[in-house]
Amino acid sequence: MALNGKTAVVTGAALGIGRAITEILVKNGAKVKYYFIQIRQQKMKGGNFRDRLCFLCNTFASSALQTTADTFGGIDIVCNNAGILNEGEWEKTVSINLLGVIRVTYLVLKHMNKLSGGRGGVVVNTASMAGLGPFLTCPAYSATKHGVVGFTRSMALASIVSDYGIHFNAVCPGFVQTDLMYNIPNNLGQFSHLDIASRLLLLNCSLFFCFSPSVVAECVLELVTDERKNGDHLLVKSNQKSYVTFPEVL
């Protein structure tokens, strides 16, 4: 998919991965529309983007998506990126990381689904390496990301069979240089006794394996623009990427 003239919505776009996704989509010609709901003003890198952007909070109503569709004549790209890691508030973690992805996806279906007059498009969900294997320090977070992977795969198949015209993919980053990663030791809740292991892991990752949000954004761009991708999950570790192969279960 060429991005010139396309309309994109990105959740969790104020910082980190979401901000990097926003910047790379805009640089490649997309119109990225956001809404101030409960996020403070931020200045995007490269102030010339400012007139084309405002921010979308982690939570927003269907009216925000409707306004986007009305303003630009439709929605072509959705990046469900908003997420937290907080084992002490695991219900909030589930609500934002998993329920938020499902909620936004179902809301945008009426705008993108070709069966209801939409133009089709691409939905890219931010999962995690923790969605492909267990993370002992953050079980709830890991469960939400496993859920995102399962939801993405299922929606991709549903779209093919139902002819929605929408591709569903996910990016699965490892350790990214974000506030979420660096704050892991402070958000382990009942698993705080694993704090030493967590800090050692983060130290090793910072020295050898940690990478910039821009690397993840480049992977998202690949999943958006490559029309052959549907149901694909791109694992990113230490600046290396590979597509995940899932076992056949049916």
pLDDT attached to residue 209: 77
Q: Per the domain annotation, does 246 fall within a domain?
A: no
Q: Per the domain annotation, does 242 fall within a domain?
A: no
Q: Is the pLDDT of residue 141 over 70?
A: yes
pLDDT attached to residue 197: 59
Q: Is the pLDDT of residue 112 over 90?
A: yes
Residue 204: pLDDT band (50, 70, 90) is: low
Q: Per the domain annotation, does 83 fall within a domain?
A: yes
Mean pLDDT, the chain, rounded, equals 85
| CA distance readout (Å), 249 to 145, 230, 242, 246 | 20, 18, 21, 9
Nearest CA among 18, 58, 17 for reference residue 35: 58
Q: Is the pLDDT of residue 49 over 50?
A: no
Structural domain range at position 220: 7-237
Nearest CA among 181, 13, 167 for reference residue 81: 13
Q: Per the domain annotation, does 133 fall within a domain?
A: yes
Q: Per the domain annotation, does 248 fall within a domain?
A: no
Looking at 80-84, 113-117, 188-192, which range is the least confident one?
188-192
Tokens of 8: 């994109």
- Kindly state the average pLDDT of the residues 5-10: 92
Q: Is the pLDDT of residue 41 over 50?
A: no
Q: How many CA atoms lie within 13 A of 21 on its CB side?
A: 34
Residue 194: pLDDT band (50, 70, 90) is: confident
β-bridge mates for residue 120, sequence order:
none
Phi, psi of 31 (to 5 degrees): -95, 115
Q: Per the domain annotation, does 177 fall within a domain?
A: yes
Q: Per the domain annotation, does 2 fall within a domain?
A: no
- Provide, rounded to the nearest whole percent, the portion of the chain with pLDDT above 90: 62
pLDDT attached to residue 185: 83
Query: Which active-site residues does the annotation give?
Result: 141
Q: How many domains does the chain have?
A: 1
Residue 127: pLDDT band (50, 70, 90) is: very high
- Kindly state the average pLDDT of the residues 20-44: 67
Residue 44: pLDDT band (50, 70, 90) is: very low
Q: Per the domain annotation, does 247 fall within a domain?
A: no
Q: How far apart are CA 206 and CA 203, in angstroms?
A: 5
The amino acid at residue 21 is I
Tell me the CATH number at 71.
Answer: 3.40.50.720
- Provide, rounded to the nearest whole percent, the portion of the chain with pLDDT above 70: 82
